Structure 1
Amino acid sequence: MPRKILIFVFSVTAVALIAQLPIFPLISEMREITQDGESLLQEWTFVSLSAFYDSARFAQSGWLESTWNNYLILAFVNHLGLILAFFGVRSLLSRIFLKERR
């Protein structure tokens, strides 16, 4: 039982550390309105999850709904990646540490 708790704690810690790495996709939109019309420049970058949340809050407060929808889709993908990382780390550690007991 203590090994299972240790594996769970280490898995959560690993996911928390992964969330701080700049590996999550982020789209930045810049709109320019001139006499000739409107132009849109989209730039993809990789940021940490906290920077992603900061940008998403900014997008929600002042930008178009389509931009906010893009952030929601990316947030779903980013969190799905973190969930898969948690289960992957937990599975790997379970194989390593719980295999020794048998």
Structure 2
Amino acid sequence: MLRKILILVVSLVIVILIARLPIFPLISEMREITQDGESLSQTWSFVSMPEFYAAAQFAKVGWLNSTWNNYLILGVVNHMALVLAFFGVRNLLTHMFQKNQVIVMFK
């Protein structure tokens, strides 16, 4: 039981640390409105999840719904990556602890 709790806690800590790394895609839009019309330029960058949340909040407050929809789609993709990372780390740690336990039993 203690091993399962330890695996869960370590998995959560690792995922929280991963969320702080600048590995999540973010699209930044620059809109310029002139007399000739509107121009839009987009740039992709990699940010951490807290930076992504700040940019998404800014987009929600001040920009168009299409921009906010882009942030929602990227947010879902980024969160799915974190969920997959959690399950991957948990499975890896479970496998490592079981493997070490078998080795100790045969010594």
Counterpart in the other structure of 1:17: 17
Identity of aligned residues (%): 68
1:49 matched to 2:40: no
Separation in 1, partners of 2:21, 2:98: 29
Task: Give the residue type in structure 2 aligned to 1:75.
Answer: G
* CA-CA distance at 1:100 after TM superposition: 2.9
Would you say how many aligned residue pairs link Structure 1 and Structure 2?
102
* CA-CA distance at 1:77 after TM superposition: 0.2
Separation in 2, partners of 1:6, 1:43: 41
How high is the TM-score relative to the length of structure 1?
Answer: 0.97
Separation in 2, partners of 1:49, 1:100: 34
Give the unaligned 5+ runs of structure 2. Answer: 103-107
Separation in 2, partners of 1:58, 1:97: 44
CA RMSD, 1 decimal: 0.8
Counterpart in the other structure of 1:84: 84
Greater relative contact order: 1 or 2 (C-alpha under 8 angstroms, separation 6 or more)?
1
